[in-house]
Chains A and B, each alone.
Chain A
Amino acid sequence: MNSLSEVPTLDPVDDSGVRVGGEPIVGLRNFVRRFGDNVILDGLDLDIAPGEFIALLGRSGSGKTTLLRTLAGLDRANGQAVRVPDSRAVVFQDARLLPWKQVWKNVALGLSGPNVRVRSEIALAEVGLGHRVNAWPLTLSGGEAQRAALARALVREPALLLLDEPFAALDALTRYRMHDLVLSLWRAHRPAVLLVTHDVEEAIALADRILVLDRGRIVAEERIGVPRGDRTALAARLRPRLLSCLDSGERREAGVVRFPPALKAAGE
């Protein structure tokens, strides 16, 4: 209409050359979640833009999983305003495949419409599991199971992909392969990704933006403009800063003894 609107807005462009940004698809404002007297999420603000890759760092008990469950719609928001897209999918740390369904049926779980089998097979082929379409989940290796879980999430074409420490239980080599796989899938499908992790290296290697969660609040935020694969120098600079954010929370917590130390160590 007027000349101003024809001027393209300058959205940030990530290293794959695809625009991110625009109207956020996730919006939390002053979000509070408590169990009894225990405040898990304490006045949290969070926006996620379409196609954005966010890593959420936090120690055990920082509220990471609660936040993820809220965004996944697994916990009730108790009347608070939570904006999340309808199409979202979760990959959990343990793949959580139903052992009594063959791999492709796990991928197809809850799907409707035509060609469910074909769509599942395509998704499985994309994660490199085209040869295990008819396998039983209990015969898969840990990495294969996690790939199947990724396929199950992607086949839904989610606008928001929630990853709950999906690589924590994998060996180092498999973990690096999974990082590459997740990045290439993200580039191909452009969902917004929220990766919950406690691994600083993983966060730096994968994300556009890193958030540090501590005791229910976001205590640090880093935007990364450097292309992936070119982040070695950045990592050296960022690592100590992020670690100190995590560590200061730990030290503050040490003053308020919530768990006996042995128990806490076991939990981590």
Chain B
Amino acid sequence: MTALTIGHETRIAARRPARRWLLPVNFGGRWASPVLLLLLWEIGSRSGLIPERTLAAPSAVLGTLVAMSLSGELLANLLVSFARAAVGLFLGVGLGLVLGLAAGLSRVAEQVVDPLMQIKRTIPALALTPLFIVWFGIGETPKVALIAFATIFPVYLNLYSGIRGVDLRLLDAARSFGLSRIELIWHVVLPAALPSLLVGLRYSLSVSILVLVVAEQINASAGLGYLINNARDFMRTDIIVVCLLVYALLGLSGDWLVRRMEDRALVWRPSIVEQSS
């Protein structure tokens, strides 16, 4: 039996090297195709196939990135954009938390809040841009307000449904040990809703970046959107691509942040438990 197994393994091992040189691992694994695309792009730009006014070469983008970083121009504008997203998110997520908690924990609040939230959901946040400009002018306020408005709903809905979806058998068990209502909420309801809430938070983060991009096109005098608008006027495609990269980085780091929060807060979940043990 053992000999057979060993024989089997050696046969497989012996067969493998014949095709191994074809495996993408040898060309950088999952990095292979993006790098190849960049190479083709660079060759296309250098050979004149891709005109610079259509799309700048990767090397040019990299040069611009370094130059803008060194001059401080990129960081200053990035901070402006980041602050917009952060303040908008803070307000939106905060409101979503309050409304979701209220609707989840109280029937009366549910009757009041949920219909309004469902109506709000049918209005695409970006469609409110003109109205917000009329109300709040063209300064920072409409931008932050748009982001806040758009990020309420994912947090609200996921927290609300997470609370309502709590396992009644666990609630019963906890009640049988004499826990008060406050204790039930603290020990059972909120922890049960947490995974759902974190999903909502992740949605809100990506929505905030999306709305940021559009909101920043409103007559901005600073921020990544301002850089992009200027670059468009001067057909500086290299600057536009740099800004796109930074937007992507913003989204990625937000996602990373929530994932770290999940790892810490949901350490009891089996998948994570198994990984860490």
Q: Do A and B come from one complex?
A: yes
Instruction: Please name the residue on chain B nearest to A138 by beta carbon.
Output: B270
Interface residues of A in 73-91 (CB under 8 A from B): 73-74, 89-90
**B176 lies within 8 A of A109 (CB):** no
Closest 8 CB pairs of A and B: A96-B173, A100-B191, A110-B177, A90-B176, A136-B268, A100-B268, A138-B270, A110-B179
A residues in contact with B187, CB < 8 Å: 98, 101, 109-110
Instruction: Please name the residue on chain A nearest to B271 by beta carbon.
Output: A138
A residues in contact with B277, CB < 8 Å: 139
The answer to whether B183 has its CB under 8 Å from any CB of chain A is: yes
Interface of A, helix, strand, loop or mixed by DSSP? loop
- Chain B CB within 10 A, most for which of A89, A96, A156: A96
Instruction: Please name the residue on chain A nearest to B183 by beta carbon.
Output: A110
Chain A: minimal CB distance from B233 (Å): 54
Instruction: Please name the residue on chain B nearest to A90 by beta carbon.
Output: B176
Q: In the complex, which of the residues B169, B174, B266, B269 contacts A109, with contact meaning CB atoms closer than 8 Å? A: B174
The answer to whether A31 has its CB under 8 Å from any CB of chain B is: no
**B270 lies within 8 A of A94 (CB):** no
Instruction: Please name the residue on chain B nearest to A136 by beta carbon.
Output: B268
Tally of A-B residue pairs with Cβ under 8 A? 55
Chain B, interface size category, equals 20 to 34
**B273 lies within 8 A of A139 (CB):** yes
Type the 1/0 row for A62-77, where 1 means its CB is closer than 8 Å to any CB of B.
0000000000111000
Instruction: Please name the residue on chain B nearest to A109 by beta carbon.
Output: B177
Type the 1/0 row for A2-25, where 1 means its CB is closer than 8 Å to any CB of B.
000000000000000000000000
The answer to whether A128 has its CB under 8 Å from any CB of chain B is: no
Instruction: Please name the residue on chain A nearest to B276 by beta carbon.
Output: A136
Q: How far is B273's CA from A138's CA once the two chains are assembled, in angstroms?
A: 9
Instruction: Please name the residue on chain A nearest to B180 by beta carbon.
Output: A110
The answer to whether A99 has its CB under 8 Å from any CB of chain B is: yes
**A92 lies within 8 A of B270 (CB):** no
B residues in contact with A33, CB < 8 Å: none
The answer to whether A190 has its CB under 8 Å from any CB of chain B is: no
The answer to whether A215 has its CB under 8 Å from any CB of chain B is: no
Chain A: minimal CB distance from B247 (Å): 35
The answer to whether B170 has its CB under 8 Å from any CB of chain A is: yes
B residues in contact with A152, CB < 8 Å: 177
Chain A: minimal CB distance from B170 (Å): 6
A residues in contact with B174, CB < 8 Å: 98, 109-110
B residues in contact with A89, CB < 8 Å: 176-177
**A110 lies within 8 A of B273 (CB):** no
